[in-house]
Amino acid sequence: MIDEGYIKYEAFWLPAPEFDAVATDSLIAYRQLMYKYDLIGAYPDGIGFGNISQRNGQSNSFVISGSATGSVPMLSSAHFSLVLKTDPFLNKLWCTGPHIASSEAMSHAAFYHKLPGVKAVIHVHHEKLWKKFLFHLPTTAVEATYGSPEMVHEINRLLDDPDVVDGKLLFMAGHTDGIFAFGEDLEALSNKLISLLSAL
Ligand SMILES: [Zn+2]
């Protein structure tokens, strides 16, 4: 069974109308690019994978693609959520918008809280990249499954290392095919992932 797609944190979602296009335009553009390269998409059984987020101004809140949207061919601003607050110790998350936040939102939050310079986070799946770089590039522990408090702990542990921060990539040993890219902007992260693919 693929461990993917269901929410492991306690979610407090306040439904609200869809966002202005300005809040989601670049997220949608780079999400579609990731979809084109099969870095966000769906497995043959229909379970979607991958999600994308961007920091909301200077705050620790962020806009993220919604839960179970990986398989949707074309996203709109109705597929996003604004994560207002997270509590990784109590495993609780508060969000608002037209869609409930991604099951990986708690992990995205860990990057934004730890590093003020991080403005964007992309979580993708790719079997060949994962197999090639797992344990060769920074990798979260096998015991840390996706969307879990253990994953938040692992992200925090690894981001203490400046070399890891420079590398902008984390591979997830406890989440088959799972990879995080994080950094200053969506364009640089997308380019980084696509250039890895071309090096396969
Ligand atoms: Zn995943």
Of the chain, the percentage scoring pLDDT greater than 90 comes to 93
Q: Cα of 185 to ligand 1 centre, how many Å?
A: 20
Q: Cα of 168 to ligand 1 centre, how many Å?
A: 17
- CATH numbers and ranges of domains, the chain: 10-198 (3.40.225.10)
Of the candidates 137, 103, 101, 98, the one whose C-alpha atom is nearest the C-alpha of residue 8 is 103
Query: Could you list which residues have their CB under 5 Å from ion ligand 1?
Result: 49, 146, 178
Identify whether the C-beta of residue 147 lies closer than 8 Å to the C-beta of residue 104.
yes
Q: Cα of 16 to ligand 1 centre, how many Å?
A: 26
79-98 pLDDT, tens per residue?
A: 999 999 999 999 999 999 99
Q: Cα of 50 to ligand 1 centre, how many Å?
A: 6
90-123 pLDDT, tens per residue?
A: 999 999 999 999 999 999 999 999 999 999 999 9
What average pLDDT does range 67-80 have in this prediction?
96
Pair of tokens at residue 181: 């890219």
Of the candidates 181, 147, 145, 149, the one whose C-alpha atom is nearest the C-alpha of residue 165 is 181
Q: Tokens 């999600």, residue?
A: 51
133-184 pLDDT, tens per residue?
A: 999 999 999 999 999 999 999 999 999 999 999 999 999 999 999 999 999 9
Task: Confirm whether pTM is higher than 0.85.
Answer: yes
Which residues are within 8 A (CB) of 144 and not within 5 positions of it... i.e. 6 or more apart? Answer: 150, 151, 153, 154, 172, 173, 174, 175
Q: Cα of 161 to ligand 1 centre, how many Å?
A: 23
